[in-house]
Amino acid sequence: MRTNRFRRPSCAAAALLLSLCALAAWAQYPSRPIRLFVPNPPGGATDTIARVVSPRLGEVLGQPVVVENRPGSNGNLSSELVARAAPDGYTLLLGQDSQIVISPHLYANLPVDTLKDLAPVATLVTTQMVLSSNPALPVKNLQEFLEYARRAKPPLAYASIGNGSQHHLTMEMLKRRAGIELIHVPYKGGGPATIALLAGEVPVMFGGNSVTGHIKAGKLRGLAVAGKKRSATFPDLPTLSEVFPGLEVTAWIGIFTTAGVPAPVLSRLHGEINRLLSGADMREKVRSVGGLEPFISTPEEFAALIRAEYAKYGEVVKAVGAKID
């Protein structure tokens, strides 16, 4: 009997061959333009940072990174667009912490599971939340504000950029720790809330980039920052945690993509973004946006941050009873 010299490859060998072919294909990534969805309209800090980073990221990747503004439903529209895209790394999301770790607790029928349907790629920037007051309020620092708020009858009002927003929940956390009563007045975005604060319609709010310039100009008064450490922009302002240990809130923005994108693609994107943020010129461009700081982390650190903040905000939203239909 003659022996067949040409045997079919074993299943293991075939699987190995397929894996090698896939690796070779992904090694060519990217081979066409990449879309970066931004959950806000043009002109704000989120859009600005996207347009600062995308050209440089496109240069190092060898393909254009095209910014597409897709506002709607507090960022949920852009999250869904990316979650439903092909898992090939050509669709990215400039994801804000609020849409990733807060929205799932606010919306009863969110079409996206942000922890399962989106894959974290890299952290990008952080910004400090600043407790800001109208100068007409007779307080000059955090302690004076807390004492004044405890005595105020009726309770002081405070603005936020919307129900369930980070600005809203941060003030609610401070209320609980400080034992003060305040009345929440939600506005539709940072611009309208800041205008109301400047006009004296409300005496106080937590704000991000929308209040930074006004504090520097003396039109608003900074009382404290909410981050883990003092702000480089306002180094004289204390952190909330200096008075209430453990009370820390840092707003962040990161890059996400569709769940299921191959590991080599995630690794390439993560590495290139971190290298960009490490450069002195990019750090300066980020800081020039106003109150933003580059945020570099490992994939493990980013994943841990998302899990921790998802749990933290879940508890606060439940305690406050905030919901959005």
In a domain, 25, yes or no: no
82-140: per-residue pLDDT in tens? 999 999 999 999 999 999 999 999 998 899 999 999 999 999 999 889 999 999 999 99
Indicate the residue among 189, 214, 242 that finishes a domain: 242
Q: What is the predicted pLDDT for the residue at 25?
A: 54
Q: 85 and 50, same structural domain?
A: yes
**How far is 319 from 84, CA to CA, in rounded Å?**
32
Tally the domains of the chain.
2
Q: What is the predicted pLDDT for the residue at 27?
A: 74
Q: What is the predicted pLDDT for the residue at 172?
A: 96
In a domain, 168, yes or no: yes
Q: What is the predicted pLDDT for the residue at 6?
A: 47
Asked whether the beta carbons of 46 and 38 are under 8 A apart, the reply is yes
Q: What is the predicted pLDDT for the residue at 51?
A: 95
237-275: per-residue pLDDT in tens? 999 999 999 999 989 999 999 999 999 999 999 999 999
Question: Which comes out higher in pLDDT, residue 214 or 72?
Answer: 214
Asked whether the beta carbons of 54 and 36 are under 8 A apart, the reply is yes
In a domain, 181, yes or no: yes
**How far is 134 from 196, CA to CA, in rounded Å?**
10
Q: What is the predicted pLDDT for the residue at 11?
A: 55
138-152: per-residue pLDDT in tens? 999 999 999 999 999
Q: What percent of the chain has pLDDT over 70?
A: 92
Q: Which pair of structure tokens corresponds to residue 299?
A: 């994939």
Q: 203 and 116, same structural domain?
A: no
By residue range, what is the domain housing residue 37?
Answer: 32-127+250-320
pTM (2 d.p.): 0.86
Residue 125 dihedral angles phi and psi, to the nearest 5°: -145, 160
Closest CA to 124 of 164, 94, 86, 79: 94
Question: Which comes out higher in pLDDT, residue 209 or 167?
Answer: 167
Task: Give the pLDDT mean for 155-172.
Answer: 94
Task: Give the pLDDT mean for 148-165.
Answer: 95
Question: Which comes out higher in pLDDT, residue 5 or 182?
Answer: 182
**Tokens 């898992």 map to which residue?**
87
Judged against a pLDDT cut of 90, whether residue 3 lies above it is answered with no
Q: 255 and 107, same structural domain?
A: yes
183-212: per-residue pLDDT in tens? 999 998 888 999 999 999 999 999 988 898
In a domain, 103, yes or no: yes
Highest mean predicted confidence (pLDDT) among 5-9, 159-163, 244-248: 244-248
Say which CATH number the domain at 185 has: 3.40.190.10
Q: 274 and 183, same structural domain?
A: no
**How far is 309 from 273, CA to CA, in rounded Å?**
22
- pLDDT band at 20, cuts 50/70/90? very low
Residues 6+ apart with CB under 8 A from 108: 323, 325
In a domain, 17, yes or no: no
Q: What is the predicted pLDDT for the residue at 242?
A: 97
Indicate the residue among 242, 258, 289 that finishes a domain: 242
Q: 235 and 142, same structural domain?
A: yes
